[in-house]
Amino acid sequence: MRRTTTAALTAVLFALSGCSSSGSDAEPGPTVTATATVTEPPALSEAEQTQLCVDAVADVISSRPAGFDPETGEDPKPAECNHLSESDYLDAYMEGLFKSNEAALEERQRQRDEAELRDQQDQ
């Protein structure tokens, strides 16, 4: 078994090192050159960039701490909004606020529906 393993390993090494070639008169094989093309991801439209900002604002607002006071506290500006003008950011902020409020209302309604269903099942 040991001789077979040694012989097989030697044959593989000869094949890899080129010792089994027919000599220096042999013509080299074709040369293959790989070329990698790096492409930029497609740029987002202005509307898509603004929507990313709106979504980020909604996430920031939704993750406010329990004691957050919107009268005295300030939400951090998400990086997704850095490209917007102040006016456009304000519009996106208001849209994000609306989106966050809508999600909270939907969640509360879902909880009410579940509680009502449990109450009906308990009767």
Within a domain: 61 = yes
Q: How far apart, in whole angstroms, are the C-alpha atoms of residue 76 and residue 70?
A: 12
Per residue in 65-103, pLDDT (tens digit) is 989 898 999 999 999 999 999 999 999 999 999 999 999
Domain-located, residue 108: yes
In a domain, 13, yes or no: no
pTM greater than the 0.95 cutoff: no
- pLDDT score of 20 more than 50: no
Distance from C-alpha of 51 to C-alpha of 92, rounded to nearest angstrom = 8
Residue 25 lies in a domain: no
What's the number of domains the chain is made of?
Answer: 1
Query: Is 55 domain-assigned?
Result: yes
Residue 40 in domain: no
